[in-house]
């Protein structure tokens, strides 16, 4: 996509691959309402994703060094441009905002804006978040992760009633991205499932992510609730490794794919994974957990980051700033007011569960009282 190729630090040109996808009947052109097969192609673009912590040593801890270049390349499994992206991110993270911009309600530095005329490529209607479990998952762990991650989405309601515009919704920070364009903010729902795809998967490159999602869709052709837009969420077990830079340059990312029919154009998906303690310093803000699982809590935060960006910039042509940073990128590792429960920290309580969830940048670009410091438009609740 030309608009993103001019921002080398943001998107990666990746190997195009064909996927055979069984389409949900509601999306199919079949007159009999039965699923049909389509050729689903990876768009060739993915975000750099949620960066590792700025304090993290960028040396690869997996034993397989990630490859960095600042040139675009057709290789899917290289973090092309990541070094420049991380350099810009760390510089911005550590930069103290100009004092004259620190007044709450004044314009924030580095505003975000719409890059496609009317930003109608955002996700509206009811969006179904569908986890795709890959690798050596135990059934009990899948059930736990379904519950804790799903609770983020469903704690305030279900299906079409669960609008992000609801006060207190963890994705409420996205509301202005829709209402400013005269669009109705989306509603979200979680589609829990226990289907484990490719249980022997180990090293997983960017192309493999799309392949495993395709395998899942083919095995579950009617899993998408009628009338909803699916967002597939690849979640690798701790026996897997996202080899293009998990724990060394990113903690998660999002992408999209296209098919030959208009009903399957711009299908978004997200990728992140469970992890062992060796990645705590890279992808977790704390070594303890309010829910008894450090990796799960860390990935709850990563998922919120990626969902924020999928909603507002699903095809990399909508909302981002002059450096290519999407809304959640601009608030990565910023949590606002933090509370303690025992030795663990949290900033949001959803139902009975507590989470440490990063903030998100508001579309109005006005300084909030929160953020890493004065001068940012970061907020946890909108």
Which residues, at least 6 apart from 380, have a Cβ–Cβ distance to it below 8 Å?
Answer: 173, 335, 336, 337, 347, 348, 357, 359, 360, 370
Q: Is the pLDDT of residue 227 over 70?
A: yes
Look at residue 211 in the predicted model and tell me its pLDDT: 85
Look at residue 82 in the predicted model and tell me its pLDDT: 59
3-state DSSP assignment of residue 22? strand
pLDDT band per the 50, 70, 90 thresholds, residue 117 = low
Q: What integer is the mean pLDDT of 164-184?
A: 93
DSSP annotation of 87 reads H
Phi/psi at 23 (nearest 5 deg)?
Answer: -85, 135
> pLDDT of 327-360, one tens digit each?
999 999 999 999 999 999 999 999 999 999 999 9
Look at residue 320 in the predicted model and tell me its pLDDT: 92
**Averaging pLDDT over each range in 48-52, 76-80, 172-176, 322-326, which range is the top one?**
172-176
Which residues, at least 6 apart from 253, have a Cβ–Cβ distance to it below 8 Å?
Answer: 46, 47, 48, 49, 50, 270, 271, 272, 306
Q: The tokens of 100 are what? A: 């004259």
Look at residue 96 in the predicted model and tell me its pLDDT: 52
Look at residue 130 in the predicted model and tell me its pLDDT: 96
Looking at per-residue pLDDT, the higher value among 90 and 317 belongs to 317
Q: Average pLDDT over the chain, rounded to whole?
A: 78
Phi/psi at 37 (nearest 5 deg)?
Answer: -100, 140
Q: What integer is the mean pLDDT of 105-115?
A: 89
Look at residue 46 in the predicted model and tell me its pLDDT: 83
Q: What integer is the mean pLDDT of 59-86?
A: 37
Q: What integer is the mean pLDDT of 85-97?
A: 59
d(CA 318, CA 289): 35
**Averaging pLDDT over each range in 16-25, 176-185, 260-269, which range is the top one?**
176-185
Q: Is the pLDDT of residue 67 over 70?
A: no
Q: Is the pLDDT of residue 284 over 90?
A: yes
The residue among 374, 290, 297 whose CA lies nearest residue 336 is 374
3-state DSSP assignment of residue 12? strand
pLDDT band per the 50, 70, 90 thresholds, residue 261 = low
Q: What integer is the mean pLDDT of 22-26?
A: 31
Contacts 24+ apart (CB under 8 A), 275-279: 275/238, 275/246, 275/247, 275/299, 276/238, 278/61, 278/247, 279/61, 279/246, 279/247
How big is the chain, counted in residues? 382
Q: What integer is the mean pLDDT of 228-256?
A: 93
- Inter-residue contact 51 to 323 (CB < 8 Å): no
% of the chain at pLDDT higher than 90? 50
Looking at per-residue pLDDT, the higher value among 21 and 109 belongs to 109
């Amino acid at each position: 996509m030309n608009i993103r190729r001019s921002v080398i630090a943001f998107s990666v040109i990746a190997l195009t691959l064909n996927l055979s996808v069984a389409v949900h009947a509601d999306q199919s052109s079949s007159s009999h309402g039965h699923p049909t097969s389509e050729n689903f192609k990876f768009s060739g673009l993915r975000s750099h994703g949620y960066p590792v912590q700025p304090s993290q040593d960028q040396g690869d801890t997996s034993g397989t060094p990630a490859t960095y270049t600042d040139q675009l390349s057709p290789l899917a499994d290289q973090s092309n441009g990541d070094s420049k992206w991380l350099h810009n991110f760390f510089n911005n993270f550590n930069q103290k905002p100009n004092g004259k911009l620190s007044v709450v309600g004044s314009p924030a530095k580095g505003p975000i804006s719409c890059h496609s005329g009317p930003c109608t490529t955002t996700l509206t209607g009811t969006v179904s978040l569908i986890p795709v479990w890959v690798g050596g998952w135990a059934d009990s762990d899948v059930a736990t992760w379904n519950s804790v991650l799903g609770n983020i989405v469903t704690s305030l309601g279900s299906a079409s009633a669960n609008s992000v515009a609801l006060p207190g919704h963890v994705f409420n920070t996205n509301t202005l991205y829709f209402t400013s364009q005269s669009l109705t903010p989306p509603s979200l729902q979680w589609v829990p499932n226990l289907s484990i795809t490719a249980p022997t998967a180990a090293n997983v490159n960017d192309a493999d992510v799309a392949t495993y999602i395709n395998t899942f869709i083919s095995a579950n052709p009617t899993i998408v609730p009628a009338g909803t837009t699916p967002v597939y969420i690849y979640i690798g077990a701790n026996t897997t490794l996202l080899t293009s830079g998990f724990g060394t340059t990113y903690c998660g990312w999002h992408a999209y794919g296209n098919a030959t029919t208009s009903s399957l154009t711009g299908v978004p998906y997200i990728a992140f994974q469970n992890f062992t303690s060796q990645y705590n310093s890279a992808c977790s803000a704390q070594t303890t957990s309010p829910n008894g699982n450090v990796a799960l809590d860390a990935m709850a935060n990563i998922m919120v980051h990626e969902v924020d960006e999928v909603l507002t910039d699903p095809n990399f042509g909508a909302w981002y700033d002059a450096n290519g940073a999407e809304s959640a990128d601009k608030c990565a590792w910023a949590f606002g007011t933090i509370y303690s429960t025992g030795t663990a920290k949290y900033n949001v309580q959803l139902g009975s569960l507590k989470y440490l969830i990063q903030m998100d940048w508001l579309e109005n670009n006005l300084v909030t009282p929160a953020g890493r410091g004065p001068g940012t438009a970061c907020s946890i609740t909108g």
